[in-house]
Amino acid sequence: MSNIQHTILEWYDQNKRDLPWRNTKNPYFVWISEIVLQQTRVHQGTPYFYKLIEAFPSIDVLAKASEQDVLSAWKGLGYYSRARNLHKAAQEINLAHKGVFPSEYLSLKKLPGVGPYTAAAISSICFNKAVAAVDGNVIRVISRLLDLSDPVESSDMRRTIIEFANEILSPTRPGDFNQAMMDFGSMVCKPKDPSCPYCPLAHMCRARINQTQQLRPVKKPKKKAVNRFLIFKVHFNKGKIRMIQQQKGSIWEKLFVFPYDEFSTEAAFFTKIKQEPQVIIDRAIHVLSHQRLHYSVVIVQEDVPSAGNMWFPIEKLYDLPTPILVPRILSRIENHLVPLFKC
């Protein structure tokens, strides 16, 4: 185990990525970075890290912000439950911990949106607690080192990986070691093209010895994406567009989208499109992690005066907390809308 510790840390000291959140031990900034990087690549998440810490430079500022402001700052990152949990966790830290970030792994894990990996990362990096942070990169490295042939999602394999990660963890530099394993998985032990000829652990890697590295980790087959069929309706009146804030249970909870009708079958969807008098996007597809949204966009002119806070000038739509699909639709239909507003 000491050989792995020494090799990984030596590699890290020479090759670690220069990331903005690594220049601080401030748990607030490290926490923000970890939440942003859930389901998001580093190069995509880095601008949002800067944006969030500029908008909310402390736990207190984040806790006292409105949920809509937090969702607006998060706009474009997707998986908006992360933003809602970020806001809830800041409020909990302010209330239950008097604004002081908890240092213990178990206390961190109780915060909304903070799972075992994030709690381990924060406690080890910021407070030098010896807890292994096991993310997808670490799972891949260990499954190859041990040449694990069962799906890594199984409880037995998960337990084996976590136990091994804690066995090889450096007790003196746990934060550095956790980050080293993440970098090593991202830069050397890559998913599709591992750099085995240059890997300092190659002589210890059972998958490399058995020539099974391309087969590891073994994963369960992904569930087939669900197809949904939507017609978005762009209601406009007196220079404003109607938007609907989605309620709990929607994939777009608390976000604003165009009103829409959903159809249970593709045939019903196509039939309805043919009946619409003003179709501006005939058919398009928006792919989510577990859903494929087949959609059309139509224009509907309202005859009643626009009232209430669900009507917005077109230029204000870009400032609302919306799923990324809304600005994508707007960019395609804006040329159609401008002449209508001049009428």
Provide the pLDDT confidence category of residue 304 given band limits of 50, 70 and 90. Answer: low
Using the predicted structure, report yes or no on whether residue 335 has a pLDDT greater than 90: no
**Structure-token match 């923000």, residue found:** 32
Same domain, 103 and 27: yes
Question: Exactly one of 10, 34, 67, 276 is catalytic; which is it?
Answer: 34
By the 8 A CB rule, do 61 and 85 touch?
no
Q: Which domain holds residue 250?
A: 226-342
Give the model confidence (pLDDT) of 107-123 as tens digits. 999 999 999 999 999 99
Provide the pLDDT confidence category of residue 162 given band limits of 50, 70 and 90. Answer: very high
Same domain, 23 and 128: yes
Tally of domains within the chain: 2
Same domain, 36 and 105: yes
Same domain, 170 and 279: no
Same domain, 67 and 168: yes
Whether 252 is in a domain gets the answer yes
pLDDT for residue 222 = 83
Q: Is 239 left (phi over 0), alpha (psi -120 to 50) or beta?
A: left
Give the model confidence (pLDDT) of 249-295 as tens digits. 899 999 999 999 999 999 999 999 999 999 999 999 999 988 999 99
**Beta pairing, strands 240-242 & 279-287:** unpaired
Give the model confidence (pLDDT) of 183-194 as tens digits. 999 999 999 999
Q: How far apart (Å, rounded) are the C-alpha atoms in residues 317 and 310?
A: 11
Find the range with the poorest average confidence among 28-37, 292-301, 317-326, 334-343: 334-343
Using the predicted structure, report yes or no on whether residue 206 has a pLDDT greater than 90: yes
Same domain, 75 and 172: yes
Same domain, 40 and 125: yes
pLDDT for residue 239 = 80
Same domain, 157 and 259: no
167 catalytic residue (yes or no): no
- Average pLDDT over every residue of 22-36: 95
In the numeric block, which tokens belong to residue 107?
């206390």
Phi, psi of 282 (to 5 degrees): -70, -65
Provide the pLDDT confidence category of residue 78 given band limits of 50, 70 and 90. Answer: confident
pLDDT for residue 238 = 79
pLDDT for residue 340 = 62
Percent with pLDDT over 90 in the chain? 81
Whether 215 is in a domain gets the answer no
- 3 state SS of 149: coil
Same domain, 251 and 128: no
pTM recorded for the entire structure: 0.84
- Per the prediction, the chain carries an average pLDDT of 92
Whether 92 is in a domain gets the answer yes
CATH number for the domain that contains residue 336: 3.90.79.10
pLDDT for residue 309 = 58
DSSP code at position 297 = E
- Average pLDDT over every residue of 312-320: 87
pLDDT for residue 236 = 85
pLDDT for residue 308 = 53
Using the predicted structure, report yes or no on whether residue 333 has a pLDDT greater than 90: no
Whether 191 is in a domain gets the answer no
Using the predicted structure, report yes or no on whether residue 127 has a pLDDT greater than 70: yes
Using the predicted structure, report yes or no on whether residue 168 has a pLDDT greater than 70: yes
